[in-house]
Amino acid sequence: MEIAGRIVVVTGGGSGIGRALCECFHREGAKQVVVADIDGSLANAVAESIGATSVRCDVAREGDILALVAETEERHGAIDLFCSNAGIAAGFDPSVDNAAGASNDVWQRSWEVNVMAHVFAARALIPRMKARREGYFLNTVSAAGLLSQIGSAAYSTTKHAAVGFAENLAIAHRDDGIHVSILCPQGVDTPMLRGLPQGPQGSDGIISADEVAVAALDGLRDERFLILPHPKVRDYIANKARDYDRWLSGMARLQKSMRA
């Protein structure tokens, strides 16, 4: 997929990876970039800086996503690329005593934002895209959805679920002309990462949000399902599949070293 001339929506577009995606798509000549964020002031600032449109949107609310899709298509035309990028990292504690110990509120909010937001976007857009026989979803997930995340079962579990949903989306709608990619970085220099305790997510180097956006652009051009800004993740996936027990032992050792 080439971005030039396309109408693109980015959720969580007010900062971090979302902001970098908006700026990258603008440079690539998108016809219209719609910056959606729960923080309307951040969305406005990004939109003003690139001559885009901003919308306040809480992706955990299906009504907000329905309104975002309807307003965008009424004002600008059919959405070519929907970047379901917003996410949260809650309940992080590398020395946690109980993997199930996060509060119900943490689990519920993680589920709503990290999983159901993707579902809501697809539910709103699939009928429209099927009618046109084209459309693209770029879902920002995380390497944690492919591997795991020491210190947050809620984050890791919901990111795994996001991968599973994206796989189903890609399988079910390939013949409808709809493409799906998942963006799965490790450590990225964003406000989200800077707000977390030190963990293994930066062990292969913390890259910039702009680097992630460039990797996303390359993956979209190739229409690859799996986009890995940290190439080393591919080796970790292979090692996990090759010997699951050995991989679990290694992760347990890594967690133990973090507690020392």
C-alpha dist (Å) from residue 111 to 66, 144, 240: 19, 15, 25
- Pick from 99, 132, 137: nearest CA to 117: 137
Retrieve residue 48's tokens.
């003003």
The residue written with tokens 């979209």 in the block is: 220
For the residues of 105-158, what is the DSSP string, one character each?
HHHHHHHIIIIIHHHHHHHHHHHHHHHHT-EEEEEE--GGGTS--TT-HHHHHH
Give, for 212, the enclosing helix (H) or strand (E). helix 209-222
Q: Do the Cβ atoms of 240 and 247 come closer than 8 Å?
A: yes
- Pick from 168, 177, 169, 147: nearest CA to 159: 147
Phi, psi dihedrals of residue 183, rounded to the nearest 5°: -105, 115
- The span from the CA of 52 to the CA of 61, in Å, is 23
- Active-site positions read 155
